[in-house]
Structure formats: structure tokens, C-alpha cells
Amino acid sequence: MERKIGKDEMKSTEGKEGCFSMQKEISFEELREFENSFQGSRANQVAMNAASTNGVIKAATNPLVFGKVPHNFSVSLEQGDITNQKQSGRCWMFSALNTMRYRIIKKLNLKTFELSQSYPLFYDKLEKANYFLESILETMKEERDGRLIAHLLSEPMNDGGQWDMLVNLVNKYGVVPKYAMPETVNSENTREMDGFLTKLLRQYACELREGFQAGKSVETLREKKKEYMNHIYTILCICLGVPPKSFDFEARGEDKTYTCDRNITPVEFFKKYVDMDLEQYISLINAPTADKPFHRTYTVSYLGNVKEGRPVKYLNLELAPIKAAAIAQLKDNEPVWFGCDVGQSSLGKKGILDVDAVRVNDLFGTEFSMNKAQRLDYGESLMTHAMVFMGVDLDEKGNPTRWRVENSWGKETGKEGYMVMSDKWFDEFVYQVVVNKKYLPEAIQKEWEQEPIPLKPWDPMGSLAKQL
């Protein structure tokens, strides 16, 4: 039986070791001490003036970092015009399509070219709706207020995604040039569309679960799902337009060579002009947490879009083999897709990703000392953005010093849309890199064949597929 502690006993324990040795509240005496400590420091006064006038980031910006990140690289790939995802969370989609359009530009000797981002967006929304409803049907016996159902209902529709999810879309639906399905107001700013789709999907989840509780079979409810999906399709057509089943492809290269392909389907177009064996490209992650031993493969439960497609899969590795594979692929004239925590130690408009870029430690007189594993474990860092490596600078020993990054925030970011990442920033905040497995040692290629260990649906490795 639990013993209750009386008031007299609580008083008697004050000042002694144990749970009552310290007061719980902030006293006015402590507040006076805090203020005196602050006011007694000239550095605090300077920091207050700078931060209150300019904001924390500007006040803490280290100007010395600007000279450390030149836009010169020993290995550099040239791309077409920079893309812009506008007010949408399609970074994973833009960056993957940027690796693919690069192949078309080189194949046809084009100055620039862009694949439609609205086209895969349409089918991603449609497939995500189906994936969500199927997840609801599969979890009918779970408690509504349990963590799993709460997780599923938290965000049934968003713009986020993973490399494998884009692969599933491309394998099933192909790709099209941007002119075949251009952007709309709703593809460039997805908030309203996502909001109404989310509202509708939660309603459908409610109806399905209540139907099950009323005695309807899952098979009967799955028939109802077809009606729901028809509604979702209609909404997507209203917001984004009807996706093309075929189109005419015309292009003229810098050498005046003319290419014309009439009535080609999106799948045929991908096979013929992108010509990329997606099965050879695998996701490597660097997640140095105790729950994810290196050299093992992982997946994230209830994370995906195309129900019959391949699941999200990662191989967790140390940084050295990940960097080596990325460098080898860049040297072979091929871009590299990656996922990172872009908001950490970064100057977005300047296009600088450097651990010394923002000296908040100096501004606040404190120390942010968590390592990569601790940041993941305690929710301080996770993948928030996907971009493309388009180059790397190597020292005399072949070690990387900085990386050239193609972003999808328009040409106003960085230098004409390109950012510079220090190698130390890579160590701390890059979590996922996709490479052709041929650039990995044979032993690591074999490790990829392992059956993946399922991670919880809310694991930070799945965060890029969430709306952030």
C-alpha cells in the first residue's frame, strides 16, 4: 500500500536530500538573482540590443562564414533552370524529378527542361487517400484513442513523401513534361486543398469505424471505400486538372536536333527518355541511435502511398560509406538525392549550410551540446527537406570539404538557387542519401537484401513524409 506523506513530514524534509529538498516554484528572490546576473553583464546588454532589434538569427549570424563557402567545386554538374516548389511541401518530389530531368537534358542536349510536379502530386494525393483508408480498415480493432489511430488521424493528407514513394508513383504512372500538366494555384499552394481532403478523410474514417462497430464486415466497408475514392478523385480533378493519358513530346536541342514523339504515354516517356532503373537506387540513412544498429535495414510501419508498391526501406550506415558512394555517383556525372534538417545552422536566403553559420551559443551565453543521436532521440532534429547534390569539393587527399546543393526554392535562394553545404554540416544534419547501389562495396550491397526491421509509425526517419 502506498504511504502518504503528511504536511509536517514534508516540512521536516526541507533542506534534506530527496524529493522535497528543493522548492518547486520560482521565488521572487530567485527572480531578483536572475535579473542581477543579467544586468551585471555588458555582453548581455549588447546581445539584447542586437537580438531585439534584428531577431535572433541575424543577431547571431557569423559573417566570417561567408568567406568559407565559395561556389567553386572540383566536381560540379550543370543543371537546367532552378525549380520552385512555391507554397507546397513537395521538396521530395521536386528533388527526385530534378535528378530525372537532368538525364533528359543531357540525353537531348537541352538548355533546360522541367518535368511536371503537378502530375505526380495528383496521383500521390489519390494513392495516399487509398493508403489511409486501407490503414483504417486494417486497424478496426484498435482503440480509437490509442496512439496508432491517433497517429493515423493526425495527418491523413499532406504533401510530404519519401524517395520510395516517388518511385512507386513513377513505376505506376510515369512522368510527363511540365507543359503536359502545368501548375495550378492549388499545386503551388496546397494548404486549402490538403485541409479539405483531410477533413473528408477523417469523416470517412469515422464512417468506416462506426460501420464496423455496427456489425458490417471489412469486405462490405471496402466496397464503400470505392465510393469515397471517387469523391477524392473528383476533388483532385477540380483542384489540379485531369492528368493526361498521353501527350505529344517535342524538344529542340542546343545543337538544333529536333525530337518529336506523338501520343506517347507517361510510362513510355519515362522508359524512353529518363531511362533510369529505379530498382538499382537505394536509400542509405545515418541514424546513430541505439535502436537502429548500423548495417541493418529498416522500414516505417504505416508509411507509404501506393498500396501495392514497394515499402519504404533504408540501410543504416556510418557516414564514410555514404559519402564515398555519393562522391562516386557525382564523379560519374549523376546527381544525388538526399534528405536533411535544413533549418539547423543555416542561412536560407544566403544559401549557406554550415555549423558555424549561426553563433547562437555566443549570443545566449549557453551551449547547445546534443550530438546527432541525442537530437534524434529527443525530437530536436529530423528530416525536414530533400534536395540534390550537384557537386562536391575534394581536398588533395580526396576528402570532401563542401557540397554543391540544388534546391527547389527558386533562384532567389543562395547563388541562383544553389546552396553550399560544409562537410561538417553534412555530418550533423544529413540523414538520408539515395545512390545507385553499384557505387557501394559488394558487402554493403548484400546487406541491402536483409528483411527490413519495422520501425514505429512515428519514428523520426519517416518525418520527411510528414507536413513540416
Per-residue model confidence (pLDDT) at position 21: 57
Per-residue model confidence (pLDDT) at position 23: 80
- Whole-angstrom Cα distance, residue 56 to residue 68? 22
Q: Which domains does the chain have, with CATH numbers?
A: 75-465 (3.90.70.10)
Query: In which band, very low, low, confident or very high, does the pLDDT at 63 lie, cut at 50, 70 and 90?
Result: confident
Task: List, for residues 218-242, the tens digit of each pLDDT value.
Answer: 999 999 999 999 999 999 999 999 9
Sequence-distant (≥ 6) Cβ neighbours of residue 10 within 8 angstroms: 20
- Establish whether 407 is a catalytic residue: yes
Which comes out higher in pLDDT, residue 400 or 7?
Answer: 400
Task: List, for residues 423-448, the tens digit of each pLDDT value.
Answer: 999 999 999 999 999 999 999 999 99
Question: Mean of the per-residue pLDDT values for the chain?
Answer: 94
Does the structure show a pLDDT above 80 at 22?
no
Q: Which of 4-13, 205-214, 453-462 has the lowest mean pLDDT?
A: 4-13
Does the structure show a pLDDT above 80 at 12?
no
- Whole-angstrom Cα distance, residue 302 to residue 155? 12
DSSP for 454-465, please give it. EEPTT-GGGGGG
Does the structure show a pLDDT above 80 at 68?
no
Q: Which of 34-38, 127-131, 311-315 has the lowest mean pLDDT?
A: 34-38
Q: pTM above the 0.85 mark?
A: yes
Cell numbers linked to 36: 542581477
Does the structure show a pLDDT above 60 at 19?
no
Which of 98, 168, 316, 407 is an active site residue? 407
Which of 84, 91, 286, 340 is an active site residue? 91
Cell numbers linked to 320: 564514410
- Whole-angstrom Cα distance, residue 363 to residue 419? 25
Per-residue model confidence (pLDDT) at position 467: 59
Half-sphere exposure of 45 (CA within 13 A, CB side): 5
Does the structure show a pLDDT above 60 at 211?
yes
- Establish whether 237 is a catalytic residue: no
Can you tell me the mean pLDDT for 79-96? 97
- Establish whether 91 is a catalytic residue: yes
Which of 130, 158, 239, 385 is an active site residue? 385
The pairing of beta strand 297-300 with beta strand 453-455:
parallel
Task: List, for residues 287-312, the tens digit of each pLDDT value.
Answer: 999 999 999 999 999 999 999 999 99
For residue 162, give the nearest of 266, 244, 270, 285 by alpha carbon.
285
Per-residue model confidence (pLDDT) at position 65: 87
Does the structure show a pLDDT above 80 at 205?
yes
Question: Are 371 and 364 spatial neighbours (Cβ–Cβ below 8 Å)?
Answer: no
- Whole-angstrom Cα distance, residue 116 to residue 120? 8
Can you tell me the mean pLDDT for 56-83? 91
